[in-house]
């Protein structure tokens, strides 16, 4: 992780493209706009470093420690989704009405630093909960929104926006109508943060494990994209990265729930 900070500082503040690192183009291909390995290496080292700090076993790792880690991760993802939803709603208002204060909003900060902030919040929350549990030994509970209407509204909203996206590939949609897509993160948040129909401890455990798997998959694809895409294409990838974790989580979660149902009811699943 230390090399990541050094390279990031060098790239951002010293205007150093890393002569030793930039002797050849990434992946051996002369990509347009490629300036070497410095920013890619910094991003990779930082993300892997944060992941190792957050998910590596502690010296005195216990079963409760793992549960606290997963709860801290889920809390961090929800907070991150809340921030994204709030910011995108401000962007929606910016397109809808003319408010001088909103005109100064800069989406690039949220887009560029979103994935780093998520891991930092997760690590901070994990060690805070671990400290609190060590002091009080009290059970750390997770809080979810009620299934109705939040989960239902979230699913309907996501389905509505996915329909808009599909239609937009065939029909030109007015820019003002397309601005409604800024509300998509809010509906994803409602879906993720609310109870599922099956409100059991087993489903909660599956939900927490699914979030961990989704984080691994999301950051794997992001690191790969960092080395493959450049210029405007990379910005597009980072933009979609604001929603990719939520979508991957939902896919993994329902796949794991389905697999668990098949395991518990093999005869029913066969029919």
Domain positions in the chain are 1-56, 60-143, 148-194, 201-271
Number of Cβ atoms within 10 Å of the Cβ of 23? 9
For the chain, residues with pLDDT lower than 50 are 4-9, 11-14, 16-34, 267-271
Q: What pLDDT does 165 receive? A: 78
What pLDDT, on the 0 to 100 scale, is given for residue 80? Answer: 92
User: Smallest Cα–Cα separation from 214: which of 140, 118, 125?
Assistant: 118
Predicted confidence at residue 271, as pLDDT, reads 41
- How many helices (H) and strands (E) in the chain? 10, 0
Contact indicator for 228, 40 with CB cutoff of 8 Å: no
Q: What pTM was estimated for this model as a whole?
A: 0.81
Residue 37 DSSP label: S
| pLDDT for the residue 44 | 87
CA distance 122 to 188: 20
Residues linked to residue 130 through DSSP beta bridges, in sequence order:
none
Q: Is 145 helix (H, G, I), strand (E, B) or coil?
A: strand
* pLDDT score for 99: 65
**How does pLDDT run across 27-72, given as a tens digit for each residue?**
333 444 445 577 778 888 889 999 999 999 888 888 889 999 999 9
- Determine the pLDDT at residue 214: 96
Spell out the residues 6+ positions from residue 249 whose beta carbon is closer than 8 angstroms to its own: 77, 192, 210, 211, 214
C-alpha atoms less than 13 angstroms from C-alpha of 233 in its C-beta half-sphere: 10
Tell me what pLDDT residue 108 has: 66
Contact assessment for residue 207 and residue 249, using Cβ atoms and an 8 Å cutoff: no
What is the spatial distance between Cα 215 and Cα 241, in angstroms, rounded to a whole number?
Answer: 12
Q: Counting Cβ atoms within 10 Å, is residue 206 exposed (0-12), middle (13-18) or buried (19+)?
A: buried
SS3 content of the chain, % helix, strand, coil (to 5): 75, 0, 25
Q: Report how far residue 150's alpha carbon sits from residue 144's, in angstroms, rounded to the nearest whole number.
A: 10
Give, for 139, the enclosing helix (H) or strand (E).
none
- Please name which of 248, 255, 197 lies closest in space to residue 81, comparing C-alpha atoms: 248
- Residue located via tokens 């949609």: 173
Q: What is the pLDDT of residues 105-131, one digit of tens each?
A: 666 667 777 888 999 999 999 999 999
Residue 54 confidence (pLDDT): 92
pLDDT of residue 161: 87
Amino acid 8: pLDDT: 46
């Amino acid at each position: 992780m230390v090399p990541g900070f050094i390279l990031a500082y060098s790239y951002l503040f010293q205007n150093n493209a890393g002569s030793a690192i930039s002797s050849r183009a990434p992946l051996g291909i002369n990509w347009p706009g490629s300036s070497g390995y410095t920013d890619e290496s910094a991003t990779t080292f930082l993300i892997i470093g944060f992941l190792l700090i957050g998910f590596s076993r502690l010296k005195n790792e216990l079963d409760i420690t793992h549960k606290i880690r997963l709860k801290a991760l889920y809390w961090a993802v929800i907070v991150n989704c809340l921030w994204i939803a709030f910011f995108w709603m401000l962007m929606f208002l910016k397109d809808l009405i003319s408010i001088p204060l909103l005109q100064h909003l800069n989406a690039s900060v949220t887009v560029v630093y979103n994935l780093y902030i998520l891991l930092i919040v997760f690590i901070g929350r994990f060690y805070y909960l671990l400290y609190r549990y060590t002091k009080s030994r009290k059970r750390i509970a997770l809080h979810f929104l009620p299934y109705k209407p939040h989960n239902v509204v979230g699913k309907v909203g996501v389905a509505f926006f996915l329909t808009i996206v599909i239609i937009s590939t065939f029909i030109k949609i007015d820019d003002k109508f397309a601005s409604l897509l800024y509300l998509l993160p809010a509906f994803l948040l409602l879906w993720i943060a609310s109870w599922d129909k099956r409100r059991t401890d087993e489903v909660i455990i599956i939900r927490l494990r699914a979030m961990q798997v989704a984080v691994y998959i999301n950051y794997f694809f992001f690191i790969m994209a960092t080395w493959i895409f450049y210029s405007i294409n990379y910005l597009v990838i980072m933009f979609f990265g604001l929603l990719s974790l939520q979508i991957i989580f939902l896919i993994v979660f329902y796949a794991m729930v389905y697999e668990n149902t098949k395991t518990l009811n093999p005869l029913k699943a066969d029919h």
